[in-house]
Structure 1
Amino acid sequence: MDEFLSEILNLGRSHFQRKQYQKAEKYLSQVLEQNQSFADVYNMLGVIYHDQGSFARAQRAFEAALKLNPAYTEAALNLAVIYNDMGMYREAKEVYQNALTRGQTAPGEMDRFVKGKIANMYADIGDVYMSSGRFDDAIGEYQRALNLCPTFVDLRAKLG
């Protein structure tokens, strides 16, 4: 990932975390103009669109996140909420049940949602290393993230 893309992605995430959705939307949309492989960006935009009352746009964003990462529990639950808000109760129940089924783990195994959160933290650390010019350290963090979540396409994109 180039430095500019990494910078606008970090700005978008930062504004999103502070619930500054208008600013976050601007940066996150710019990310998708350059690279459509970030499931978490689609999920964040879906949350923003839902907050704005743009349910159809939110639905498309959550569906895009799940197309990139079918195991993305947070996006699945967000999609279920949108379906419910749109009166699509059967679809909401189906998505919710699928998310619950996917989220079940064997005893002693880490929950997939938790794995995803930790993988994203490793990726964030990798981004910091990358922006500091510490490429070997960045690659190490991205690989740690991929070890937890090998299906995360955005992590593979970061490794080129």
Structure 2
Amino acid sequence: MDVSPAQQLELAKERFELQDYYGAILLLEELIEDGRAFADAFHLLGLSQELIGQPERALEAFDQALALNPRYVEANIHKGIVLAGLGRDQEAEAAFAAARESGGRDMGGVPAHHASQLANKHAELGEAYAEAGALGRAIEQYRTALDLGPTYHDLRYRLGRLLLEAGRSLEAREELEVVVKARPNSPDAQAAFGLACYLAGDAATARSVWEALSREHPEDIRARAYLGMLARGTAE
């Protein structure tokens, strides 16, 4: 059965979350070979390769993600972490600086059943715009979706991530804070909220959020990575 690039990426994310990094890599490489990959696919490929001990290949994947989306904050952060692990400190600092710079830029009346369907349609359209690189239009579609379904926190989380990608960190912080309050046990929401706080200039809150994430989910490598980045920034 043929699947869309977005669906195949979701399958790869499922393998990644199950710590089946080789399975994730196979799905992502297939997506790339078919010429259907986008920045998120290369980023996840890099993370998977890093976790199986292939740092050089991970760097290549992060660079591919950044070639498609030069303002991909997390790709720069993870690139910096891998470079630091290889002892390439100057390159690592450049990647962290690029992440900070990218993240700091600014650049009714419907029945419930139909509202739910329409919200999902707007979200699908938003994803199509995001895949095409039209972040402004993608964000508009997700805001419309949330007007129809304000309690759809998976859509709000995605909106927050798109806002981060667009460099609109203050707006991202507002949206992700709502998600964290509604879903306090979601590590994805906590990690993204901490990143939004950091990029909005509130390093203290970011540290608090990531430390809590590290305590509650010690297996989550993002918390350690982000706290390490924060420590490096403080030491400068």
Q: TM-score range by the shorter chain?
A: 0.5 to 0.7
Hey, what does 1:22 align to over in structure 2?
22
Q: Identical aligned pairs, as a percentage? A: 28
* 8 Å CA contact retained: 1:37, 1:68: no
The TM-score with structure 2 as length reference comes to 0.46
Letter in 2 for 1:43: H
Hey, what does 1:75 align to over in structure 2?
75
Distance 1:140 1:66, change over 3 A: closer
Distance 1:27 1:62, change over 3 A: same
Letter in 1 for 2:12: G
Hey, what does 1:102 align to over in structure 2?
102
**Of 43-52 and 9-18, the range deviating more from structure 2:** 9-18
- SS state of the match for residue 63, structure 2? helix
Residue among 133, 136, 142 paired with 2:128? 142
* 8 Å CA contact retained: 1:59, 1:79: yes
- SS state of the match for residue 71, structure 2? coil
Please list the CA deviations of residues 128-156 of structure 1 after superposition, one character each: whole Å capped at 9, or x if unmatched.
x7xxxx7x87335534873236999xxxx
Hey, what does 1:65 align to over in structure 2?
65
RMSD after superposition:
3.0
C-alpha distance in 2, partners of 1:140/1:43? 20
Aligned residues: 125
C-alpha distance in 1, partners of 2:60/2:69? 14
Deviation at 1:4, TM superposition (A): 5.2
Letter in 1 for 2:96: Y
The TM-score with structure 1 as length reference comes to 0.65
Distance 1:37 1:28, change over 3 A: closer
* 8 Å CA contact retained: 2:12, 2:28: yes
**Of 96-105 and 75-84, the range deviating more from structure 2:** 96-105
Structure 2 stretches lacking a partner, 5+ long: 108-119, 140-161, 167-236
Hey, what does 2:88 align to over in structure 1?
88
**Structure whose CA Rg is larger:** 2
* 8 Å CA contact retained: 1:49, 1:55: yes
